[in-house]
Chain A
C-alpha cells in the first residue's frame, strides 16, 4: 500500500513537469521586470494575466508600469482598480490622484482623494494633495481651507508644505499682465509693451525696427512728398511693423502669462509628487 502511495505521489509530481508558472510566480517575475525598468515587457506579461485574475497586484503593477512610461491617464485608471484590502491600496489611490492632477483632470483627482479610506497619518497627506490641486486650479480660497496649518506636520511633508506656501504667495502677489495695456504701450512707444511683458530684448529690437522704418518714412515724406513711391513703400513697411509690433506685444503678454502659469504648475506638481515617493517608496 505504502509503495503505491509513494509511486503515485512521484507520478503526480512528475506530471507537473510541464505545468505552467503559478500566478504568484508570474507576479514575482513581473515585479522583477518593473524593477529592471523593462516596463514594456512587464505590460505584455500583465496583459497575459488580464481577464485571468482580478488581482490587485495586477492593477497596481500595470498602473506602475504605465506611470513609469508616462501614460498617466491609463495609469490612473489602473491604479483606481486596486481594492482597499490590498497593501498597495493607499499608494495606488494617491498616485491615481496625482496622475489625474498631472493630466489636468482635477475633478477626477479630487474624487479619488475623497474616496480614499485612510488613517490619521495619511489624512494629512490627503489634505496636502488637496491643497496642491487647489493651487493648480488657482482656487485660492480652496487652498486656504485645505492647506495644513497644524504645527504637527509629518516630517515627509514639512519642506513641501513650506514650498507650496511660497508658491501660493508668488502666484497671489503676481499681478497678471494686461494684454490691452501692452498693446496700448506699444502703440505709444513701440516695443514698450514687450518690455512690460518681460521680453526686454525683443522689446528693444522692435523699438529699433519700428523707429528706423518710421524715420525712413518721415525722411522720404519730408523730401519727396506724400505721393512719392518711396514714401508709400516705406510708409507701408512702417505700418506693417508698427501694427505687427502692437499685435506682437499683446501676444507676448499672453505667452508671458502662460509661461508663468506653466512654471508654477510644474513646481506645484513637483512638490505634491515628492511626498508620495518619500512615503510610499
Chain B
C-alpha cells in the first residue's frame, strides 16, 4: 500500500510538471496567434519559434512553421519566410498540407526574386499532383515566372488554363483579353542589343534612334560628325597635330562613349518595356 501511494505521488508530480510545460507552450501558441491577429508579425514569429523550440511533440511543427512563414511574408521578409517553410519535413505532411506549403514556397521564392527555385517548387508540385490542376495562386505565380522568362506562348497557355479552370466572371471576355494581351502587336518589342551596338558602330547615334531616343541620336550624330569634320579640315589645312588630337582624338572618345551609351540604352528600354508588359498581365490576372 505504501509503495502504491508513493507511485501515485511520483505520477502526480511528474504529470503536474508535464502539464505545466505543455500549458506554458500552449500559452505561447495562443499568444502568437493573438499577436498575429493584431498584425504584430515580428513578435508573433518569435512566439511561434518559441513554441517550436519548447514543444516536445513535433506534430504541430508543419502548421506552426507555416504560420511563422506567414508572419515573415506579411513583413515582406520573403527570404526568412522561405527558410521557415524549408524547415517543414514534407514526408510528415498530408497531400493538402504539401500543396499549401509548395504553393507558399513558390510564391515566396518568386517574391524574393529567386525565379529558378520558385520554378522547382512548382515542378515538384506538378509531379505530386500528377494530372490534377495546380492551385489558383500557383498557376498565377507560374504565369508570372514565364512572363519574366519571356516565354510568352507558354504563359498565354497557362493564362487560358487559369481562366478556364477558375471561377471568372465573363470567361469569353477574359479569354479575349488574354488574346489581346498576348497578341504579337501587344508583346513588348524588345530591342536587340547587338543590333543597336552595330548600328552605332557604323553610324554614331543611329543605335540611340533605334532605341527610340531620336533627339539624343541626332545630337550624337552631329557631335561625332563635327569632330570628324574638324579632324579632316585641320589635316587638310596642314594642322596635323590639331587634326589628330582635337579632331580624331576627341572623336575617338565620343565614338566609344556613344557605343557604351547605346548598349546601356537598349538594356534600359528592354527592361522598361518588359516590366510594363508584365505589370499589365499581373494587374489584369489579379483583377479577375
Contact = CB atoms under 8 A, between A and B. Distances in A.
Interface of A: 2, 6, 9-10, 13-14, 16-21, 25, 28-29, 32-33, 38, 41, 44-45, 212-213, 215-216, 218-220, 223, 230, 234
Contacts of B238: 223
B133 to A, nearest CB: 37
B16 A218 contact: no
Does more than half of chain A's interface fall in helix, strand or loop, or is it mixed? helix
B19 A21 contact: no
A64 B27 CA distance: 29
A29 B53 contact: yes
Contacts of B53: 28-29, 32
B190 interface: no
A220 B12 contact: no
B241 A216 contact: yes
B241 A218 contact: yes
B240 A17 contact: no
Nearest to A25: B54
B240 A219 contact: yes
Nearest to B5: A2
Given A2-B5, A10-B12, A29-B53, A219 B241 contact: yes
A223 B234 CA distance: 12
A225 to B, nearest CB: 14
B56 interface: no
B9 interface: yes
Nearest to B27: A18
A38 B49 contact: yes
A109 B46 CA distance: 35
Nearest to A218: B241
B99 interface: no
25 contacts: A10-B12, A13-B16, A13-B17, A13-B19, A16-B23, A16-B24, A17-B23, A18-B23, A20-B24, A21-B28, A29-B50, A29-B54, A41-B49, A44-B42, A44-B43, A44-B46, A212-B241, A212-B249, A213-B245, A215-B245, A216-B242, A216-B245, A223-B238, A230-B242, A234-B246
A207 to B, nearest CB: 13
Interface string B47-83: 0011001100000000000000000000000000000
A25 B190 CA distance: 59
B267 to A, nearest CB: 27
Interface in B16-41: 16-17, 19-20, 23-24, 27-28
A70 B49 CA distance: 24
A118 B287 CA distance: 68
B9 A6 contact: yes
Contacts of B8: 6
The 5 closest A-B pairs by CB, nearest first: A13-B16, A17-B23, A212-B245, A215-B241, A219-B241
